[in-house]
Chains A and B, each alone.
Chain A
Amino acid sequence: MSQSPEDSDRRAAAASAGFDRPLLLTPREDLLGYVGSLTGRAGLFLIAASSVLAVFLIFVFIAREAFLFFIQGETPAEIAEFLWNRVCEVFGSTAWYPEQDPAEYGMLALIAGSFYVTFGSVLVAVPLGLLTAVCLSDIFPFTLRQVAKPVVELLAAIPSVAYGFFAVMLVKPWLQETFGIPSGANVLNASLILAVMAVPTIVSVSEDALTAVGRPLREASYALGATRAETMVRVVIPAAHNGIIAAVILGMMRAVGETMVVWMAAGNAKQIPHPWWDLTESVRTMTATIAQEGMDTARDSMHFHSLFTIGLILLVFTFVLNTLSEFLLGRMKFRGAKP
C-alpha cells in the first residue's frame, strides 16, 4: 500500500502542528517497529533472567566440583560402593582430617557446629527481636519509634568483621572471667554475637508482619473487651504468625551464612560438644572451614572437592530455608490483603 496524497497531507499537517511521529505507519515502519519492540523485550528479559542464570550457574559450578568428591571408579558397582562409603563418612564421622595421610572427610562435626551456632543464636534473637518488633509496632509512641527503628537497623549495617573483633577482644575474656570456663571462644560467644546480627532482620520483617495485621483486627479485639496484652498475645501475634516465622527463618539464614564471626569467635575445634547441651565448648562451622582451608588448598585435589561439597550442603540448606520463608511471606501478604 503506497502513500496516498491525503496521507502525506496529513503528515505535513501533523508535522507543522508539532508531532514528529507519523500518524499512519507504512508496512515497513510497522514491521520495523514490531521487530524493535520484540528485540527490546528480549533484551530486558535477558537482563532480568541473568540473575536467575547466575544463581543456576553457581549451583552448577559448586555441584560439578562436589560431584568429583562423590563419584570415583569405573564400573557402576564400584561407583555405587564408593558413593555409599563417602556418604556414610561425610554424614556419619566427626573426623575432619583432609590433609592427613590417609585423609578423613567426616563432616558431621562441621554440620553440627553450624546447627549449634544457628540454633543458639535463634534462641537469643527470637525473643529479643520479636519483643522489639512488638514494641515498635504497638507500644512505643510515634516519636520514640521514629528514633528506635533506625537505631535497630543500624545494627545490620555494622560489618561482620567488626563484630568478630568485638567477640574476640571483649566477649571472650568476659565469658572466661564471668563463667570461669577455660576458653571463651565457644558456641555461646558466637551465638550471642550472631543473635545481635540477626535481630535487625527479625525486627524488620516481624514488624512488617505485625503492621500488616491491620487495625480492624486489633479494634475488634479491644471491642470485645481484651486488654492490650491479651490482644497482642492472643490475637495479633497469632494472626501474624506466617510473617514472624518467615522473619525467624531469615534471621537463621543470616546466622548460617555468617563466616567471619564464627571463624573468630567459635573456637574452630572439630568436635561435637561433649554433653550435647554444653554451650561452652568450642565448635567449627561449615562456613569457617571453607574460609580457613579454601584459600590455600591445591586446586583439583580431593580436599578442594570436599570443600565444595561443604559449600553444596550449605547452599542446599540455605535454599530450602529461603524457599520456605518466601512461601510463608507470600501467605502473609495474601492473608494481610484480605478485607
Chain B
Amino acid sequence: MRIKARWIVAGTLGAILVAGVLAGSLGAAEKESLLVQGSTTVGPIADAFADAFMRKHSNVSVTVKKTGSGDGAKALIDGRCDVADLSRFMKQEEYTRAVEKGFLPVAHVVAMDGVSVIVHPSNPVKALTTGQIRAMYRGKIANWKEVGGTDQEIVLYSRDTSSGTYETIHKLVMDKKKMAPGVEYVASNPDMHKHVSTTKAAIGYVGLGFVDEKVRALRVDGVMPSSRTIVSGKYPIARPLFMWTRGFPKPGSLIYAFVTFHLSEEGQEIIEAKGFIPVTNY
C-alpha cells in the first residue's frame, strides 16, 4: 500500500475504535448498577442471580466480586458495595463498626449450605460421629478398621483454607483446630468428588448438591444429610448463607429485589442448581 493510503486506513480504524469505546461507555452510564461483594461460597449464587436479573431488566448492571466474607463485610461498612455476601454472621467488631458509621446491617438468609461427608461406595462404614471425623482429620485415627471398616490407611481430603466449605467444616467439625499435615488438599467441590470416587480409602466432604451415586454420604451423629434435615437444623454440618444490606432495603428498589430473589421460584431453582438448599419449599 502506498504510504498515504496506509495512514488513511489506520486513521479510520483508530477513529472507529475510539467511537466504539465512547459509545460503549456512554451506553453503560445510563444503567442502574448494583455492586455485590463478598464470600466465595455465596458468590456463585449471586452470580446466577445477577445473570437472571440482567436478562430480565436490560437497564440494570449487577457486578459480583468474590473477595471473601471478611472483605465483603468491610466493603459494606465502608460503603464500597451495596450488598455483602457472607457465609457467616457478622462478627461483633464488624457489627459495631457498622453502627458507628450510622447504619444497622440487616441479614437476609438466602440459602442453607449443608456439607456432606463422603466416602468411596465400596467402604462398609455408613455412619460416623463428629468426634470421630475430627479425630480422623487430626490424624488421631489413622486406619479404617478403628471405626468399623476394612484394614486400610485412611486417605483424608480437604478443601483449601480459602473455601467456604472448609470454613464450615473448620467451625462445626474441627472445632477450629488444625488438621493433620498428611491431609491432601483439593481445589473445588467437583475435584473432591473426583478424588473420593476414585480412591477406595478416601474420606472427604462436599456440598450437598455434589453427592451422587459415585460416592456415599455418611450419616453424621445419626442424621443423613438431606434438604429437610439441613433446613430444620437436625444435620450438624449445616449453616445459613447470608446477604447483608445497609438497613432494610426499600421495597421496590433494586437492592430489595435482589435480596428477596431467593424467595421466588426462579431463585430457588438457581440455588438448587448451585448445590445449596433453598430455605423455602414451593
Which residues of A sit under 8 angstroms from B182, Cβ to Cβ? 269, 271, 281-282
| A298 adjacent to B71 (CB under 8 Å) | yes
Q: Of all chain A residues, which has the CB nearest B194?
A: A168
| B199 adjacent to A184 (CB under 8 Å) | yes
Which residues of B sit under 8 angstroms from A293, Cβ to Cβ? 160-162
Chain A 255-299 near chain B by CB (<8 Å), digits 1 or 0: 000000001100111110000000001101000000011011111
Q: How far is the CA of A242 from the CA of B181 in the complex (A)?
A: 41
Interchain Cβ contacts within 8 Å, total number: 76
Q: How far is the CA of A263 from the CA of B152 in the complex (A)?
A: 25
| B71 adjacent to A182 (CB under 8 Å) | no
A99 sits at the interface (CB 8 A)? yes
Q: How far is the CA of A99 from the CA of B183 in the complex (A)?
A: 16
Partner of A297, one of B162, B181, B183: B162
A101 sits at the interface (CB 8 A)? yes
B227 sits at the interface (CB 8 A)? no
| B68 adjacent to A296 (CB under 8 Å) | yes
Report the minimal beta-carbon distance from A248 to chain B, rounded to whole angstroms: 30
Contacts A94-B181, A284-B185; is A295 near B162 (CB within 8 Å)?
Answer: yes
Q: How far is the CA of A299 from the CA of B37 in the complex (A)?
A: 15
B245 sits at the interface (CB 8 A)? no
| B184 adjacent to A269 (CB under 8 Å) | yes
Which residues of A sit under 8 angstroms from B195, Cβ to Cβ? 168, 185
Q: Of all chain B residues, which has the CB nearest A288?
A: B185
Contacts A176-B199, A183-B155; is A296 near B181 (CB within 8 Å)?
Answer: no
B275 sits at the interface (CB 8 A)? no
| A98 adjacent to B161 (CB under 8 Å) | yes
| A268 adjacent to B186 (CB under 8 Å) | yes
A111 sits at the interface (CB 8 A)? no
Q: How far is the CA of A169 from the CA of B163 in the complex (A)?
A: 23
Chain A, 293-339, CB within 8 A of any chain B CB: 293, 295-299
Partner of A182, one of B161, B162, B194, B199: B199
Q: How far is the CA of A254 from the CA of B245 in the complex (A)?
A: 48
| A100 adjacent to B186 (CB under 8 Å) | no
Report the minimal beta-carbon distance from B43 to chain A, rounded to whole angstroms: 10
| B184 adjacent to A99 (CB under 8 Å) | no
Report the minimal beta-carbon distance from B90 to chain A, rounded to whole angstroms: 16
Which residues of B sit under 8 angstroms from A270, Cβ to Cβ? 181, 183
Partner of A183, one of B70, B161, B178, B184: B184
B140 sits at the interface (CB 8 A)? no
Which residues of A sit under 8 angstroms from B181, Cβ to Cβ? 94-95, 109, 269-271
B257 sits at the interface (CB 8 A)? no
Count of chain A residues with Cβ under 8 Å from any Cβ of B?
A: 34
B187 sits at the interface (CB 8 A)? yes
In this complex, the member of B40, B70, B161 whose beta carbon has the largest number of chain A beta carbons within 10 angstroms is B161
A214 sits at the interface (CB 8 A)? no
Which residues of A sit under 8 angstroms from B155, Cβ to Cβ? 182-183
Report the minimal beta-carbon distance from B78 to chain A, rounded to whole angstroms: 14
Which residues of B sit under 8 angstroms from A169, Cβ to Cβ? 194
Report the minimal beta-carbon distance from A271 to chain B, rounded to whole angstroms: 4
Which residues of A sit under 8 angstroms from B55, Cβ to Cβ? none
Which residues of B sit under 8 angstroms from A84, Cβ to Cβ? none
Which residues of B sit under 8 angstroms from A263, Cβ to Cβ? 187
Which residues of A sit under 8 angstroms from B198, Cβ to Cβ? 172-173, 176
Q: How far is the CA of A101 from the CA of B199 in the complex (A)?
A: 32
A97 sits at the interface (CB 8 A)? yes
B176 sits at the interface (CB 8 A)? yes
Q: Of all chain A residues, which has the CB nearest B153?
A: A182
| A269 adjacent to B162 (CB under 8 Å) | no
Report the minimal beta-carbon distance from A7 to chain B, rounded to whole angstroms: 29
B119 sits at the interface (CB 8 A)? no
Partner of B68, one of A101, A168, A176, A298: A298
Which residues of A sit under 8 angstroms from B200, Cβ to Cβ? 176, 182
In this complex, the member of B71, B155, B163, B201 whose beta carbon has the largest number of chain A beta carbons within 10 angstroms is B155
| A99 adjacent to B161 (CB under 8 Å) | yes
| A185 adjacent to B201 (CB under 8 Å) | no
B122 sits at the interface (CB 8 A)? no
Q: How far is the CA of A176 from the CA of B122 in the complex (A)?
A: 15
22 A-B residue pairs with CB within 8 Å: A100-B176, A101-B176, A168-B194, A168-B195, A173-B198, A176-B198, A182-B201, A183-B155, A263-B187, A267-B185, A269-B182, A269-B183, A269-B184, A269-B185, A271-B181, A271-B182, A292-B162, A293-B162, A296-B68, A296-B163, A297-B162, A298-B67
A173-B198, A182-B201 known, 15 other contacts, Cβ within 8 Å: A94-B181, A168-B194, A183-B155, A183-B184, A263-B187, A268-B160, A268-B186, A269-B181, A270-B181, A270-B183, A281-B182, A284-B185, A293-B161, A295-B162, A297-B68
